[in-house]
Amino acid sequence: MPHEINIVLLGTGSAIPSAKRGCAGVYLHINGEHLLADAGPGTLRQLARIGVTHMDIDRVMITHFHPDHCADLVAILFAMHSSNPKRLKPLFIYGPRGLETLLKRLDKAFYGW
């Protein structure tokens, strides 16, 4: 059975601002599943630009905790929490050691969102 794979580079830049390149983010559509590898600032907007909403994402993979790779994780989670209708399908988030602590601290910082 052939695999359907679509890869879109949403951002390939670094933490240094550039008018030509956004921070790290790669969207993968593999056999109907929507994956996001890294979520640097602007990733959520870049997803919208290609017609993918925050509600479509099934899995997020964070490679490391530099802000240019993970800062939009906050925006994505907040958008999912704030959406109407509410998101019903699970979101799986993968990352390096410390991810669970980060998510707990974000939850505390944003009062249980």
Q: Where are the alpha helices (DSSP H) in the chain?
A: 43-49, 67-70, 72-82, 99-109
Q: How far apart are the first and last CA of the chain?
A: 41
Per the annotation, the verdict on 72 as an active-site residue is: no
* Identified catalytic residue from 38, 68, 72, 107: 68
CB atoms within 10 A of CB 9: 12
Instruction: Enumerate the active-site residues.
Output: 68
